[in-house]
Each structure stands twice: as C-alpha cells, then as structure tokens.
Amino acid sequence: MKANMLLLLILAILILSSCQKEVDYANRTNSGNNTNTENLLVKTVAKTGTDSIVSTYTYNTDKKLINLKITGRDQGADVDREFRYYRNAAGIITHYSAISPDLVSAGLDSLLTVVHYNIAISQYTSYVLNINIPGFILLDSSVFVFDGSGRIVEEDVYESPSGTGSDYYFTGKAIYTYANGNMSGLDLHNFDQSGTEVFTGHTKYQYDSKINPLRFGNEGLAMGHADWVSVGNVTNAQLSDSNGPVDDQTLTIVYTYNNGDKPATSVATILPDNIVTNTTFYYQ
C-alpha cells in the first residue's frame, strides 16, 4: 500500500482551504486574501532533486478557480495535466474535466466529473466520475455526509464496473475530522465487491496559524481534493496504513511567509524516504 501512502503525502503537501458556505469558498476577498496586493496564488514551482513541477492557477473575474495546469518532470517522467472547472452563473461548479496526453494515448480526450449541488440546502451533495475508454468502462460516484453545521464529515464511494449504473457497489469511504477550522484527520477504508475491507489508511495533520493561499472548504471535496479543506497551512502529517509500521511515513513542512502572511517558500521533507521538496509560491 506504499503507493496509497505516497498519494496521501502528495495531497498533504498541497493542503489548502477553509470551511464556509460553498457559494463563498472560491471567493477569497472575504477570507483575508485582500490583506495586500498579492491577492491570488497564480503559480507554484516545486523542486525535488533534479525534477521540477510547475502548477499554474487561473481564475475568473470573480476570483474563482477555473483552471489548474501541472507540467514538468516527476521521478524522471514528464508530467502534463490540466483540470478545467466549469461554473454556472452563481459560481457553483457543475462539472470539471481532466486532460492529459496519457489519456489521449488511451483513446480518451478527457475524464469528466459531474458535480451535484442542492440549491435548497446550498450544499454540494455528490459527484460522479465517468470513465469510458475502449475496453474499460467505469462509473465512480461519491456521496457526501454532513454534520449539523453543514461540514462534510464522510464521503461514501460507489462503483459501477459496467458503467451503466445498474451494478453499483459500496467500495469505500473517507472519514474527515476537524479542529480549529482545519482538517485534523483523514481515515480511508476500501472494500472489495464482497464487502471485505482491503485497505485502511489514516492521516493526522498539524497546521500553522497563517493564511492559506487557496481556500475551498466543501467545494474542494466536491472537486475530489481532500487537500483543499483547511484554514492553515499543513506543517506536519503522520501517515499509517493497514500494512503496519513498515509503511508509516511523516511529512514536515517549514515555510517562509510574505507580508500578507501567506507562504512564500516551503521545504517539505518525507521520512523515512528522506524526500525533500522545495516550493516557491507566486501571487498576483
């Protein structure tokens, strides 16, 4: 399960956001980002050894995220991915697509995720990823569970192997816990088609008291990012899984900050593999 752990660590490195009503999540002007002229994060450059990953963020006129493009090299391999977020007139995400040369080579222009929003309760309620590649069809649906304050505390995942929706089965769940406006814990439980649990993972997070450059709250989860849900910037993550201590990993991040109390640079270290990533943040 080492790959699962590394994926969670990558999410932890990127962790962002805050918890408010969804309609306000991507509008940072009410969340402290107007403290200076550096309102929006437009680019990060992350360097690990000789590899470098550039993430570029694009916003609409309402300062809501509409595009994320990731390019560079990771572990010696080229990276080229783009995520396009589509919003209605009210700023609510209706769907988003993932685009990459790897998908094109597999016979697919993009991966489409449809997001469901309940206007009556002002909540994102679920999303469905539709994968339709020659020889492989899959529907992957996630349904949100809320606490009394409207915060997402659980995400239940269902898959339809046939892609028709007639054979959905419960394949896993993520349980989210919070403290002081931050996601303090993430528990993952994966199940096979017989209902047997095949994987469990747990992450505990710690944060600084500064300002995150991106904040999305529940909207981040609607976009499939558990890493976009916290007020502060993550400084430590402790990861463990069902394989025991052999897979335990620790992420620590040390920041410098700009005059607006947002990250200017960071150094992230993953142990025991001793992977060090230096990141620079650019604002506009």
Count CB-CB contacts under 10 A for residue 273.
11
> pTM above 0.95?
no
Q: Which residue has the higher pLDDT, 104 or 156?
A: 156
User: How far is the C-alpha of 266 from the C-alpha of 46, rounded, in Å?
Assistant: 9
User: How far is the C-alpha of 83 from the C-alpha of 219, rounded, in Å?
Assistant: 15
Residue 27 clears pLDDT 60, i.e. is over it: no
**Lookup result for tokens 């007020």:** 231
Model confidence at 38, in pLDDT bands (50, 70, 90)?
A: low
Mean pLDDT (whole number) for 52-78: 95
Q: Which residue has the higher pLDDT, 201 or 136?
A: 201
Q: Which residue has the higher pLDDT, 110 or 116?
A: 116
* Burial class (CB within 10 angstroms; exposed 0-12, middle 13-18, buried 19+) of 234: buried
pLDDT of residue 135: 72
Both structure tokens of 42:
């437009």
- How far, in Å, are 41, 61, 148, 152, 214 from residue 211 at the CA level? 12, 22, 26, 22, 9
Residue 248 clears pLDDT 60, i.e. is over it: yes
Mean pLDDT (whole number) for 251-273: 96
User: How far is the C-alpha of 260 from the C-alpha of 35, rounded, in Å?
Assistant: 6
pLDDT of residue 116: 97
Averaged pLDDT of the chain: 85
User: How far is the C-alpha of 37 from the C-alpha of 33, rounded, in Å?
Assistant: 9
